[in-house]
Amino acid sequence: MAKTMLRLPIGIQDFESLRIDGYTYIDKTEYVYRLVNEGRYYFLSRPRRFGKSLLLSTIKALFQGKRDLFKGLAIDQKEDIDWAEYPILHLDLNTEKYDSREKLENKINVFLSEQEKLYGREEWERSFGTRFEGVIKRAYEKTGRRVVILVDEYDKPMLQAIGNKELQDEYRATLKGFYGALKSMDGCIKFAMLTGVTKFGKVSVFSDLNNLMDISMLRKYHNICGITEEELLATFDKKIDELAADNNITRDECIAKLKNMYDGYHFNEYAKEGIYNPFSVLNTLNNGDFRSYWFETGTPSYLVELLRRHHYNLEQMSKAEVTSDVLNCIDAESNDPIPVIYQSGYLTIKDYDPEYEIYTLGFPNEEVEKGFALLSQWRVNFSNATRTIEKYVIEEA
């Protein structure tokens, strides 16, 4: 069978380069349109490699007024988009290993210094918070347009400091002051969105940002990242046929195997359809082999630290029953690792009891379940699985 010439965007997180270079794009711009027209401040939690960075890059291109990139997409048909260019402050915290306070401070300082070259700085602006406020204010004054603020992987420093209370406290204080500008400079801000794997709350980073709308579990944004079955079949029809031929199975068997291996993520209790893991699906279609691509990229070190500290039983974990408060917010000093495990994508919503408002969690699919089964060959709980789990540890890139 001749191979279909379809460019799969594996590892590509920049919307502009994806569109210019002709890579396949699953159109999520209807959700982008909804975001920019229905509100101003957002937070989205999704697992790693699920498309958060591409989503922010798409929003960035929209506010840069690059309409040509959106030709043929849903948002291009909307008559009320002005396609004007707005000043954009885009901070990506995913590109550093935060093993010291200096690493985080340097990252923020580099970001602010780059913006201050464009918009200036007052001598009395010393703290990160006041410098950020100053940049936002002057960007608005100099351009005449309110500012767009995008923060990718806002929580990475906090996650990497799990198990180190002193460092957690330092990061918390630094980030609270910095992110506080989002609230204090409301009149100068057009749109703001933070993404991450987890949501730290209570006395943590989010405690003062009550103006952020958390869309992570809202039904209407359930499909904003990842791949639905409808998108899979419509976008990759011929690639599925090729995958079936490569594995000597029928098309129906191939679709069923894709579903069992990579589908099953539910980010809302009433969502009827599951979401496919985009990283594993794209790699499977590209390579022609069914493998645990997402799980094999590594168990993040923060998750390993949590499991090691709390000796959590695998059977308990795969049938956990929790309230919405547990799923929606992480207390950095909590003894319960379930919220982090859920938000990291290793568990998902399997059932919901509306009377008692209780969620039942479980593994989303075979890829994750088999991965954890591998880790559990040695043990009943994680304390005896350390040697196995460490084979899969990585620091997020």
Q: What percent of the chain has pLDDT over 90?
A: 63
| Distance, CA of 147 to CA of 156 (rounded, Å) | 24
Give the count of beta carbons closer than 10 Å to the beta carbon of residue 253.
12
CA distance 337 to 159: 12
Percent of the chain residues topping a pLDDT of 70: 84
Task: Tell me the per-residue pLDDT of 157-210, one tens digit each, with 9 for 90 and over.
Answer: 888 887 788 898 898 889 888 988 888 899 999 999 999 987 766 445 656 666
**Domain 15-221's class?**
alpha beta
User: Is the predicted pLDDT of residue 106 greater than 70, yes or no?
Assistant: yes
pLDDT for 379 equals 41
Residue carrying structure tokens 């009827």: 272
What are the two backbone dihedrals, phi and then psi, of residue 213, each rounded to the nearest 5 degrees?
Answer: -90, 120
Lowest mean pLDDT among 137-151, 231-245, 307-321: 307-321
Q: pLDDT digit string (tens) for 324-355?
A: 877 776 665 556 778 888 888 989 999 999 99
pLDDT of residue 385: 43
Supply the pLDDT for residue 53: 96
Pull the structure tokens for residue 347: 């568990």
Find where tokens 């291109």 sit: 61
What CA–CA distances, in Å, run from 319 to 236, 334, 361, 365? 34, 20, 6, 14
Average pLDDT over residues 310-336: 72
Which tokens is 198 given? Answer: 């987890």
Q: Quick one: how far is CA 207 from the chain centroid?
A: 20
pLDDT at 7 > cutoff 70: yes
Section 362-384 average pLDDT: 69
- pLDDT, residue 203, reads 44
pLDDT of residue 276: 98
In angstroms, rounded to a whole number, what is the distance separating the alpha carbons of residues 230 and 39?
A: 28
Task: Share the mean pLDDT of the chain.
Answer: 87
The residue ranking higher by pLDDT, 204 or 87, is 87
What are 263-277's pLDDT values in tens digits?
999 999 998 899 999
Mean pLDDT of 240-250: 97
Question: Where in the chain are the domains?
Answer: 15-221, 229-295, 298-394
* CB 176, CB 205: distance < 8 Å: yes
* DSSP, residue by residue, 176-209: HHHHTHHHHTGGGEEEEEEEES--B-TTSGGGG-
- Cα–Cα nearest to 292, from 302, 303, 301, 281: 281
In 66-127, which residue ranges form alpha helices assigned H by DSSP?
Answer: 101-119
Determine the average pLDDT of the residues in 33-38. 96
Contacts of 94 by beta carbon, 8 Å cutoff, 6+ apart: 53, 152, 153, 156, 396, 397
376 — pLDDT class (breaks 50, 70, 90)? low
pLDDT at 1: 59
Q: Give the β-pairing of 88-92 and 213-214.
A: unpaired
**pLDDT for 388:** 45
